[in-house]
Every structure is written in structure tokens, then in C-alpha cells.
Structure 1
Amino acid sequence: MSNDTITAKIFTYDNVPDVHKVTVEEATGTWCGWCPRGTVYMDSLSKVHPNTTVLIAVHGGSASEPMLLSDYASGMSSKIEGYPEVLVNRTYVNDPSSAFSLYNAHINDFGLADVGLAVNYNTSNRQAVTTATITSAVNIDGDYRLACVYTEDDVTGTGNGTNTITGDYDQVNYYSVAWNNANGYTPPGPLSGGGHDWAASANPVPATIMEYDFVARVIQGGFIGQTGSLPSSMTAAGVYTYSFPAYTLPANYDPEKMKAHILLIDATNGIIMNGNSMALITVGISDPASGKYSISLSPNPAVDQIYVNLNFKDRDNVKLVITDILGKVCYSNDMGTILSGEHRLPVDISKLSSGTYFMTLVGNNGTATSKFVK
């Protein structure tokens, strides 16, 4: 059903949610030779639009897939035709190369309600409880539901270099020039991103150098959301909360690299109206740069000037970007090459209006984001 449109409801409204985020669900798998394309575009989205996307990689398509999440993959299979593909707000399905054009087409969609969330993670028993807060922009009647997805970044595993055994984390790679030449095929062309030059890499790419991001670990409430998580009638400016059951992280999951995502779903047509994300453990940065940068802001709230406190593990070329809650870029400063170590930089925010903003550090190693209020 590539490029097919799913029937949507029509709303007339005077108010809109403060924040609308585009949810991108990627159908992927280690067994899929074209799936590096999805890796590249998901990684690019995370760097270019870190504050206005909800990114989830759903591994499926094979019983031998090591990161298989069967119930989620089953829901995806009802929407997609093959691998890799992306679902954007579950309104359009297409090749990952269309991700940016689909983002641009949907970022201004009516989000129906603001989606907030709070994550309570207990380090002693490794249990996470996520509570969603929905603030409706309009009067709403219908079957709207919430789902909670936990994802993990920098996922690694073992493999024998062939991707022929169950649970093998080697990534099949049809972009490999060497493999194509050896088998008499014409290489499909260059592909670089997500930490790899795929054309210059082997097929498969050994598990020893693979890290997988946005990996869906569990979906609470099911593919179309939890029945009864929201009332059948909601009023404009009304606030509604729902807490999902405690989720116990398996021993091999790293809570510092995990996020919770809340999806607001119209159960009558399956469309994701809005969503939001939060790290299980807030360490002042946003993945995938975890461990590469740290960023904190002071004072916060600030008036005319805010100090950006940075710590670089490695030398990098970076820029600072300030965006508002709608994703509009309000400030951008190309900082050039920054050496490893600690840095403290003043930023003039006197021309910004009062409100909530995101300070994002963008570099070759990823992004790091911190929120502040003026």
C-alpha cells in the first residue's frame, strides 16, 4: 500500500497543540540487505529534527531476527509491503528515502492534543513506569488510545560474520561494492550514514562493528493502543492522565540508552495523531550522542543570557542550534572545531520571546539536547 492514504477525520478548530511531533516507525531487520538505507535516513532524521520526531525501529520479517518484537512487527506487517519501509504517523508508508519529504508533509498536521509524559525508573528493581498526560486542543469524541513504546540505542550483539544463524547481529548489506563485484552484480551506488560507509563495507557487516539505534523493545497497549486509556469524550483544554504498568528491563538492556515514547492513536483508523519521547534516565543529553558529549545550561530559566556548559570526549566539528517548541530554528552558530574537554560558552537570548526552547549541539558524533525556559 505504498503511497496510499488512510482516511482521516476532519476537525475544525481554533486552538492547536503547542507541540506536534512526527512519528516514524521503520520496518527493518539484520537479514535485510537493503535495510542499511533505513538506518541512514533514521539517523539523519534524529540529527536534523531531534525535537520534533518520535523514531522507532521495529525489527521483524524473520524468526531469526535477534531484535524481533513479534507483536509490534505483526502490527507493522498489516501496513507495509516489504523491508525497509517507514510508516509516518501511520498515514503514509514508503521507502526510507522519502522520510524527509514525508516529515515536511506532516509536521504541520493537527496533533489533536499535547502529549506529555513522565518516566519513573527504579534503579533497584529496574522497573520503569511511564505516565502520559494528554491536554486536548479541542472537544473530542471517539475511540482514542495511548500506547507506550520503549526503545534502546547502541544495541550490540554477536555474530559469526555470515548472518546465517538465529540471533546473528551481523547486518546484511547489499550496498557492498566488494560483494557486488565478486558476485557479478552492479553496485547500487553510494550510501553513507548511521556510522558506516555501506558501499565500502562488507556483506554482511560484522556484528563487532554494528550498533543499532531506536530499537523497539516493548509496546505497551498494543499496536492500536490500550483500550480505555482515554475517555470517549474529552473537552478542549481538558487534562487526562494514564499510567502504564511497570515494565521490568531485562538484564542486558541499558537504561541510560533507553527512551519511552507515548503515541496518541485514533483507533478507528490507526492514525498516530501525536507523540512524545523521554529518556528513562535524564543525563542532560539526548542520544545518539550518549557518551560523546554532555551539555547543561545555566541559569535555567534565563533572561538575556544563558551559559552552555559542554564536555567533549573527543575533538569534533559542531554547531549550536536553538529551536522553539514548534521546531523553528531561532538561533544557529557554527562553532567550528572544538577540542576535547570542558567548555563554557555564553549565548545571547535577549531577542527570544518568553517560552520553552531546546538547545541542541550538532556534531559528527550525533546530537545532544537540553531544554531551557526564558
Structure 2
Amino acid sequence: MLRKFYLLFFFIVAVFSSTLKVKAQEYSLIAAAGQKVYVPITATNVKGKMNITNYGRPAINNFDYTLSFNGTELYSKHYVLPQALNRYDDATIEIDVPPYTELGEDELIFTITKVNGTRNNATVNYSTLPRVTVTKVPHRRVVVEDYTAMWCRYCPRGIALMENLAHKYGDDFIGIAVHTGRGYEPLYCEDYAWNIAEIKNYPTLTMNRSRILSSYIAQTEFEEERSKGAYMDIEASAMWDKEKNNITVTPRVTFRLNRKEAPYGFAYVLTEDGMSNPRWAQANIESGNTEVRGISSELDYFVDAASTIYNLKNNSVAIAAEGVKNPVTGKITAPIKADEPQSHTFILQNISNKSMIQDKSKLSVCIFLINTETGYIENATKCAISDFNTTGISSLSQGEGRVVETARYALDGRRITAPQKGINLVKFSDGSVRKEVVTQ
């Protein structure tokens, strides 16, 4: 009897150990929801990104997956990882994403079927990949609003972050330095007063009004934000009147897919670069702070500077603004048609009354397109200001070879110097002519 008991005991132990061994070798590779990918309808495919994580015990060297849409498998592939994925490790992979046959948004299903040649035992072995089929991929720019002040000794870290992004990303970065401190801050922007009232700590830096930046540099955050893409392209021109008192701003927005609704508003911000004064004193807590040395050359400047910096050059300073609290709506009309530009004019008035302006030649106009449902900035642009009676686009981002507007005509063939409500015929520097719907 005792012998039978021991035989039964050893049998149970053997079965249990075998089960543990099998369980230990089970593969579990899970994918998170993919990042939205924009695919031109004329393209064969573009690269989409998926994040995968190994929740099993064995290392993973390769896997098989399928990509499906509406229950139909588009393709299946074998993927070899550049290096083994150990337990709880994750990786971002690129997969081919084809366009749909029509413009619009949908979701693909990414399913991991096999891992190292055997079945994937993940409880959920699939995830979604948002796809946007467009006529062309829009150019996304990123806005950072820095709430700062000369009296704020912590604010140099924000100034350094802004300068670092400007130097690294050029025209893809649109910075707005919002100085606070009514009555004693020489660069205080009255038009941002309502936004300033909501700020509790300085500096506060918001990226596209969708996330707060907290570190000394934000290159990772910037690239993540830019990679989210946009539904539309936005460009603009700006022109002084004869007296250089008012600025006529002409944004032009071109969506790259059809949309039934238009929940969008605009904000217009006038900024100036290179503002300085020998009497201005910037407090600087980073003076001598060797712990942050080497993070960026822009931050190193403040480490090496005195605790009070006189005559500091201030860039991207907000001088005047409209729509930064409540966006200006009614400028984009629905339904939106792909590749049909919509433009309007907006006048920034009485600029000469802004006594803080130092050099009108260093002024620029920034235009934000804001989603009024989320409050987030979906795209933006920045342009220089041309003298009265010129007609070319004066975008700061235009470079040699860039196609720009050279002339504009009413539908009856009459040449006009600014957009007029209705259908305009716009001629560009490459010789092309395009119809443009002006809503206001």
C-alpha cells in the first residue's frame, strides 16, 4: 500500500514538473496599438510602426504575423528581429502598410501568429493599426508655448530647451515665448493674459497644447509629436499695410482627405526675435550647476553664465495675439474636400501701438490650426511679413526651389493683390495654376 502511494506521488510530481516545463517554454508576444500611419493613395505602401513586448520566458528571435482589413488577410510575413527579445523586453518594428482604395480613416488588424516557429500563446495576439489614406502626406509642424519670465530663476531651463529645439528642427519647430508678470515684466504679452492666468508654475512649456514638457531637452517628445502627422497642410503669407500699422494674414489650409465636419479654429501670434536691453536682468538658477552640464550646448550657456544675466537675447517673444484663448472659428467650411485649399484673411491691428517692439524686420506671424473639440493644435505655420503690395508667399520655411504663389486672379480673370471671397485662381512659381476657395 505504501509502495503504491509513493509511486502515485512520484507520478504526480513528474506530471507537474512536465507541465511546468511546457509552460516555461510557451511563447507570448503581444503587440500594442500601432501609431496612426498616413498612406498616400498612389503609394504601394509606407512603413507603419508597431510596438511588441515579450511576456514569455524564452528569448524571441523571430515571429510570423498577418495584416488584415475587414476580415480579409492582406498579407502574412516572417519577421527576424535584429537582436533577441528577452522576457519583458519590447521593441518597435516597421511593417508595410498599403493604402485603401478610397480616401479616409480605418483600422487594420496586426496579428502575431507564430513565435520562433511555434504558436503564439498570448491571450490576445492581435492589435489595431489606425490607417489614414490621403492624397499626399501633410507636413506637420510642432508648437511649443513657453510661459516664462525674467524674474523666474528657473526659466533658463525652458529658454535652453526652446533654443535647442529651434537649432535642431528649424522650421518644423514653432516656438512662442510668453512672458508673464503684468506691470514689471518688460516683455509681458497682454493678449495672452487669460492663458497666463491658468499657469501655476514657471517655466511651463506646452507642446501642441496636448502635453507638458518637464525636462531640460525634449527632442524625443518633439519627434513623437511630429510623427503623429496631420490631416492637412497649412501655409500662410502676411503683409503690412502702407503705414506698417496693420498686418493682413492669409492662411491657406489644404486637407488631404475628405471630411464631413470642420471643428477647427485659428490663433494668430505675432513674435519678435533677438530682443534685448542692457537693463533687462534674467534670473538664472543654473549658474554653476555642473550636474546638468553636457545635456545641451544651449543649457551649458546658462551653466557658465552669472546668476543674473543682463542683455540676454530673447527669441520668439509673443508681442500680440488673437484667438489664443478662444480660437477664431468659421474660417474652415464643411464638408471639406481633399486637395481643395481654403483660405481667408485676418488682420492684426494697431501693431504700432505695441511699444515693446524693437525691430519690425524681425517680426513673424505664427498661425495655429486648433481642434475646437480637443483644444489641441493639429498643425501650424510661421511666415515673415512682406511690404505692402507684394504678392508672393513669404513663408519662413520656403527655400531655394520651393513652389510659391506668384499671382492671384478673380474668376473673371482680374488680377487681385489679396484673397477675395469665392473662387480664386492662384498661379505658382512652377507655372501651375490652382483653384482656391476663399471662405472670407
Superposition CA RMSD, Å: 3.3
Are 1:190 and 2:310 matched, yes or no? no
Are 1:102 and 2:221 an aligned pair? yes
Say if 1:194 and 1:249 are closer, same or farther in 2 by CA, change over 3 A. farther
Q: Which amino acid aligns with 1:153?
A: D
Number of the residue aligned with 1:315: none
Query: Higher relative CO (CA 8 A, sep ≥ 6), structure 1 or 2?
Result: 1
Matched, 1:234 2:336: yes
Counterpart CA distance in 2 for 1:296 and 1:52 is 13
1:176 and 2:296 aligned: no
Among 161, 165, 168, the alignment partner of 1:48 is 168
Cα distance in 1 for residues equivalent to 2:137 and 2:339: 10
Highest CA radius of gyration, 1 or 2? 2
* Aligned match for 2:317, one of 215, 223, 227: 215
Following superposition, the deviation at residue 64 of structure 1 comes to: 2.0
Contact 2:252 2:344 in 1 (8 A): yes
Whether 1:21 aligns to 2:124 is no
Task: Provide the residue aligned with 2:256 in structure 1.
Answer: 137
Tell me the secondary structure at the aligned position of residue 48 of structure 1: helix
CA pair 62-194 structure 1, distance change in 2 beyond 3 A: farther
Structure 2 CA distance, aligned partners of 1:262 and 1:210?
27
Report how far residue 157 of structure 1 moved: 3.0
Residue aligning to 2:374: 269
The answer as to 2:325 corresponding to 1:205 is no
Alpha-carbon distance, 1:77 to partner:
4.8
Q: Give the Cα–Cα distance (whole angstroms) in 1 for the partners of residues 202 and 150 of structure 2.
A: 11
Tell whether the 8 Å contact from 1:146 to 1:221 is kept in structure 2 after alignment.
Answer: yes
C-alpha distance 76-103 of structure 1, shift in aligned 2 (>3 A): farther
TM-score normalised over the length of structure 1: 0.63
1:1-374 equivalences under 5 Å are 12=106, 13-15=132-134, 17-61=137-181, 63-75=183-195, 77-78=197-198, 80-95=199-214, 97-122=216-241, 124-140=243-259, 141-157=261-277, 159=279, 169-177=280-288, 189-190=292-293, 193-194=297-298, 197-206=301-310, 209-250=311-352, 252-281=357-386, 300=401
Tell me how far apart the structure 2 counterparts of residues 203 and 123 of structure 1 sit (CA, whole Å).
44
2:396 and 2:324 map into 1 onto residues whose CA distance is 26
Secondary structure of residue in 1 paired with 2:159? helix
Could you tell me how far 1:152 is from its partner in structure 2?
0.3
Deviations 1:141-173 (A, max 9, x none): 1421111111100112353xxxxxxxxx21011
Query: Which consecutive aligned stretches of 4+ in structure 1 deviate over 6 angstroms post-superposition?
Result: 284-287
Q: Which residue of 2 aligns with 1:340?
A: none
Shift, 1:110, TM fit: 2.8
Q: Give, in whole Å, the separation in 2 of the partners of 1:64 and 1:98.
A: 29
Deviation, 1:114, is: 0.7
Matched to 2:276, the amino acid is T
> How many residues of Structure 1 are paired with residues of Structure 2 in the alignment?
266
Deviation sequence 1:233-280 (CA, Å, 0-9, x none): 422223211211243333644221111111000011110000011112
Instruction: Give me the whole-angstrom Cα distance separating, in 2, the residues matched to 1:37 and 1:21.
Output: 23
Q: Residues 53-111 of structure 1: CA distance to partner in whole angstroms, max 9, x if unpaired?
A: 11111112554222111342532554x55211221111111225242121111111131
Do 1:142 and 1:232's aligned partners in 2 also have CA atoms closer than 8 Å? yes
The structure with more helix, counted as a fraction of residues: 2
- Asked whether the 8 Å contact 1:154–1:257 carries over to 2, the reply is yes
Q: Deviations over 1:203-234 (max 9, x none)?
A: 2212xx31100001111223241022222542
Mark the CA change 1:147 to 1:44 in structure 2 (over 3 Å): closer, same or farther. Answer: same
Secondary structure, counterpart of 1:115 in structure 2: strand
Cα 1:31–1:301 change in 2 (3 A) is: closer
For 1:348, the equivalent position in structure 2 comes to none
3-state SS of paired residue (1:97)? coil
Shift of 1:39: 1.2
Amino acid at match of 1:266: N
- Structure 1: distance between partners of 2:197 and 2:257: 33
1:129–1:18 Cα change, 3 Å = same
Q: More displaced, 259-268 or 244-253? A: 244-253
Separation of aligned partners in 2, 1:51 and 1:296: 11
In the alignment, is the contact (CA less than 8 A) between 1:150 and 1:259 conserved in 2? yes
